Amino acid sequence: MSLDKILSIGGKPGLFKLITQTRSGFVAESLLDGKKITVGLRSNVSILSEIAIYTLEAELPLREVFQKIQVKEKGGKTSIQHKSEKIKLEEYFFEILPDYDEDRVYGSDIKKVIQWYNLLHENGITDFSNDDEDASSEEE
Q: Which fold has domain 3-48?
A: SH3 type barrels. (2.30.30)
Q: Report domain extents, the chain.
A: 3-48, 52-122
Write down the pLDDT at residue 2.
Answer: 83
Burial zone of 93 (CB within 10 Å; 0-12 exposed, 13-18 middle, 19+ buried)? buried
CATH of domain 52-122: 1.10.10.1650
Write down the pLDDT at residue 1.
Answer: 73
The pTM of the full predicted model, rounded to 2 decimals, is 0.87
Contacts of 128 (CB under 8 A, 6+ apart): 3, 63, 64, 66, 67, 70
Average pLDDT over residues 55-69: 95
Could you read off the pLDDT of 107-124 as tens digits, one per residue? 999 999 999 999 999 999
Does pLDDT of 138 surpass 80? no
The closest alpha carbon to 118, from 87, 92, 91, belongs to 92
Average pLDDT over residues 85-105: 94
Identity of the residue numbered 28:
A
CA-to-CA separations, 116 to 24, 46, 62, 65, in angstroms, rounded? 27, 13, 10, 11
Quickly state the pLDDT bin for 132 (edges 50, 70, 90): low
